[in-house]
Amino acid sequence: MNTEYAETELAEPHLRRLLGTAGLDVEYVSGEGNTLHHRAGNGSLIPVLDFAGGYGSLILGHNHPEIVARARELLDARSPVHAQFSSHPYANRLAAELNRIIHRETGVEEPYYATFANSGAEAIEAAVKHAELDRGARLSALLAETRASAEETRAAVLAGRATVAAPVHERLGVPRPARDEDGIDLLIAEASRHNAEVAGRPPVLLALQGGFHGKLMGSVQLTHNEGYRAPFATLGVRTRFVPMDRPDVLKEVLEQESGTLYELRHRAGRVELAEREHPAYCAFLLEPVQGEGGIRPLSRKFAEDIQEFGRQADCPLVVDEVQSGMGRTGALLASAALGLRGDYYALAKSLGGGLAKASVMLVREARYRPEFELVHSSTFAKDSFSCHIALKVLELLEADGGRLYRQAAERGEALAAMLRRVAAAFPDVVKEVRGRGLMQGFEFHDQSGARSPRLAEAARSGLFGYVVAGHLLHAHAIRTFPTASAVHTLRFEPSVLLTDDEIARLERALTDVCRIVRDQAAERLAVP
Ligand code: F0G
């Protein structure tokens, strides 16, 4: 290996140095369950309790033995990982199994068609691309109908079979001629001009404030965090961000963003100007539990408001279950418990069992556009390895009547109960505990005005959560991080294998942190 490169870091050195300031740039050399190991100076292995959980991708923990065994089987069998443009029965089986579970959890029977990808953001991009393909097709069909109707109306007027009702000229702002046949072309031209202007508007994309849907060129436009999105806004679509729990804003959106296309038509010898709903809305993206935005569960009431908005606006709902799905809250879909029914679902992270990179976008049959399959693809998507691993993940989650879902819910409640206990003991330090199942957030009060200069400075620079994470790691061998868009909130997303001892260990560690913050004793923080 070229030793010159060994010294000069070339793989995101700036990030590694930033992690280093909080002592988080540790190299882990092995992992199983909720434990990672790194090497001490003397070469011994130090176990670290991992509550970051692969940022939600390890519902079954690190290197789950049955997932590893399945991976070994596949590799020993020399199964062709990449056999693009061929029959992929394993992908069909995976899509069918996902459908079976979704139907059970939501009570719907409509098939959902699967497009596979490699990451959460890719699944989101596939969903929005498909939604825009669908919207464009609906818009083109509607414009064709209005043109056909205009032609038919023109013929009827010229043949003296129809006369133009008075309001039509007023509404189109066209002077009324002596004879209808002298003005029909002007009416058609004005209606077409209006339709072209409305149809030419950019698609309406909606997402929730605090939402996170990825950092790729398209998905970053849907992610609320200004820091991630603003530098790239010129590259993509404009998203309208809706505040949580504000049904009144949904009504405003409906009034402001909806539009109509004109259709000149004749009925019983009278020419009328009908209005047809403009398919303005591309998609509404939402997470049942916002993850990166600070672990914020969507309320059932607002989920219902959004579902009703989607119905009224004919706006497809893209339910982003990349982090909340795959059993983490006690079901495949966290949204099912909210009574939400998605037009699209995105699943990723734990779908790959902690070994494969896999994601999937599911679109319900009524909206499905088969032609999408011919214009969207990715080299590694739908590969046999990730499909087989994902099938194994679902098999484990579904075993014994869904025992692991129930376990995730029970373990999550045990974790949340402990977090609430610590918060109750330190109301001056802890602002809120939020979450569902094994997706929990622990929010500290903002320390920007703290007496301790070090704590205040860390808070003001957005690093308070990372400083706490550094202390948890070096004083308690516990690994977690703040949610990047809500830096006072620590995220806890362990695997379903979480034990009472691990919860107790975390309780001792968080109690220590809260005492340090209460005492403003930054000198007690473990520094690397
Ligand atoms: N959607 C949600 C809800 C996510 O939490 C993430 C990633 C993505 C999409 C993008 O998935 O990283 O595989 O492209 N969440 C990470 C986090 C970044 O901080 O939890 P990706």
Note the pLDDT tens digit of each residue in 361-375. 999 999 999 999 999
Confidence of residue 122 (pLDDT cuts 50, 70, 90): very high
Q: pLDDT tens digits, residue range 222-273?
A: 999 999 999 999 999 999 999 999 999 999 999 999 999 999 999 999 999 9
Distance between Cα 462 and ligand 1 center (Å) = 20
Residue to probe by mutation, ligand 1, list 124, 212, 287, most atoms within 8 Å of CB: 212
Q: How confident is the model at residue 7 (pLDDT cuts 50, 70, 90)?
A: confident
**Is the pTM higher than 0.90?**
yes
Q: How far is the CA of 292 from the centre of ligand 1 (A)?
A: 7
DSSP-derived letter for residue 235 is G
Residue spans per domain, the chain = 13-64+403-524, 89-382
* The pLDDT of residue 1 is above 80: no
Cα 57 to middle of ligand 1, angstroms: 10
**123-138, pLDDT tens digit by residue?**
999 999 999 999 999 9
Cβ neighbours around 202 below 10 Å, total:
9
According to the model, what pLDDT value does residue 8 have?
86
Q: In terms of pLDDT, which residue wins out, 274 or 6?
A: 274
Q: Is the pLDDT of residue 3 over 60?
A: no
The tens digit of pLDDT for each residue in 190-200 reads: 999 999 999 99
Q: What is the pLDDT at residue 166?
A: 86
Write the residue with the smallest CA distance to atom 1 of ligand 1: 213
Q: Which long-range contacts (CB under 8 A, 24 or more apart) does 101-104 make?
A: 101/332, 101/394, 101/398, 102/332, 102/333, 102/336, 102/345, 102/362
For residue 212, pLDDT over 80 is answered with: yes
Average pLDDT value for residue range 165-183: 94
CATH of domain 13-64+403-524: 3.90.1150.10
What six digits make up the tokens of 356?
């494969």
Distance 119 CA to ligand 1 centre (A): 8
Collect all residues with Cβ–Cβ distance below 8 Å to 136 and sequence separation of at least 6.
Answer: none
pLDDT for position 289? 98
pLDDT attached to residue 6: 58
Residues in Cβ contact with 14 at an 8 Å cutoff, skipping those fewer than 6 apart: none
The confidence band for 187, taking pLDDT boundaries of 50, 70 and 90, is very high
Shortest-distance Cα residue to atom 12 of ligand 1: 120
Query: Do 89-382 and 13-64+403-524 fall under one CATH topology?
Result: no
What distance lies between CA 91 and its chain's CA centroid?
Answer: 22
By the 10 Å C-beta count (0-12 exposed, 13-18 middle, 19+ buried), 457 is classed as middle
What would be the CATH architecture of the domain defined by 89-382? Answer: 3-Layer(aba) Sandwich (3.40)
Q: Is the dihedral of CA 51, 55, 59, 63 positive or negative?
A: negative
Residue 126 dihedral angles phi and psi, to the nearest 5°: -65, -40
- How confident is the model at residue 527, as a pLDDT? 74
Q: What is the mean pLDDT of residues 485-509?
A: 97
388 lines ligand 1 (CB under 6 A): no
Helix (H) or strand (E) holding 241: strand 239-242
Nearest to 113 by CA among 95, 89, 128: 95
- Find the mean pLDDT for residues 484-502: 96
Enumerate residues 6+ apart whose C-beta is below 8 A from 518.
426, 428, 429
Looking up tokens 């405003």 gives 252
Read off φ and ψ for residue 487, nearest 5 degrees.
-75, -5
Structure tokens at 106: 């939501």
